[in-house]
Amino acid sequence: MPTYFCTSTNGRLTSEQKKKIAGEITRIHAEVTGAPSYFAQVIFNEVETGDWFMGGAPLHHEHIFVNGHIRAGRAAVDKTRMIKLMAEAVAAAAQVESTRAVWVYVNELPPRQMIEFGHVLPEPGDEPAWTAALPEEDRAYMQKIGK
């Protein structure tokens, strides 16, 4: 359900840092929203130096941008808490000089306009009933992800 795209300059993040960031984003999303962790996706994009601009000028400072797509319906206080925790966790994992180098945006999508694992998604909070109603093969497939 949630998909987080992490963008940095080419070579900025090591494989170990990416693994840590993906784990932290997944953990935080699951803890704050209550959604199963196996729904979370974290995708890393690397941009070549000279291909990233801010204010119309090439980026010359350390920057990591996290853009998440999540289901609509979460409380504003939870979304704010989640992005703050993610920004702190990404900054720590990436060992940035300043937390101002990490930007986190969250965009909401209506659940009924999303299909994952071959099924239209439930409203937030309806995951247990939705999961229970899935064919056993699909439920088993999803639940073994990340283990």
pLDDT in tens, 47-89: 998 899 989 998 888 899 999 999 999 999 999 999 999 999 9
8 A C-beta contact, residue 94 and residue 79 = no
Q: What is the per-residue pLDDT for 145?
A: 83
pLDDT in tens, 91-112: 999 999 888 999 999 999 998 8
Task: Determine if the pTM surpasses 0.95.
Answer: no
